[in-house]
Amino acid sequence: MAKGNWLIIRVELVSWSGDAVAPSPGRDLLVSSGHSLFRFAVAIDSAFARWDLGHLHMFRFPHDVEYVLGGDEDDPGAANTESTLIEALRLEEGAEFEYIFDLGDEWLHRCEVRAVGVDPEAEFEEVPLGPVPILGWGDPRSVWADDPRSVTSPAAPDRAFRVILSPPAPSGSPGGSVRAHRPPRPATPGSPRAHPRGRHRASSSRR
């Protein structure tokens, strides 16, 4: 279990291969300062329904500070996402940075720290083992679908979060943002509750 300060970070897909994505699908993720950037990246990719995980990823912060999976032999200043904890970044509410999946096609995401010092049990009903999505809107599959109108978000009560079709309204406005809590798992007598743990290892070869 990761301990430390908990944050809510909003991640929105804004472009793919240089082409703007509009409207931008987005996810709010609950993340601990004790998690690594690598675990955060894996959670983002999972929340955006990616399966082709054999690509490098990178986080880019202001002043051209970069963190790359496996580091970067061509840029000694680029640190490794696997060994960098979020607490080392000293993120504050309102901080913005970028996440890039696949350094060839460049799936560019805008990230914003929405809250710092949150209670994980209040947001997720228990302390999660890793970064988890707690709110989502838009379907990222529409980006590569031949007919985006054919893509729908099927009902799936066992999912960890609910995808809504439009961005959340600003706080305080009518019908404000939808926050979905993790649904209860069916209890099995005599057996402990299982916690899904997804682990993915990306390739360190560039396209």
Q: What CA–CA distance (Å, rounded) separates 177 from 72?
A: 39
pLDDT in tens, the chain (207 residues): 456 799 999 999 999 888 898 889 999 999 999 999 999 999 999 999 887 777 889 999 998 889 998 887 677 767 999 999 999 999 999 999 999 998 888 999 999 999 999 999 999 999 999 999 999 998 877 666 554 444 444 333 333 444 444 455 554 444 434 444 444 444 444 443 333 333 333 333 333
Q: Which of 100, 99, 114 is nearest to 31 (CA)?
A: 114
Q: Give the distance, in angstroms, between the CA of residue 9 and the centroid of all CA atoms in the same chain.
A: 8
The candidate with the shortest Cα–Cα distance to 49, out of 124, 146, 161, is: 161
All domains of the chain in start order, with CATH: 6-164 (3.10.290)
Q: Report pTM.
A: 0.70
Q: Residue 52's pLDDT is what?
A: 74
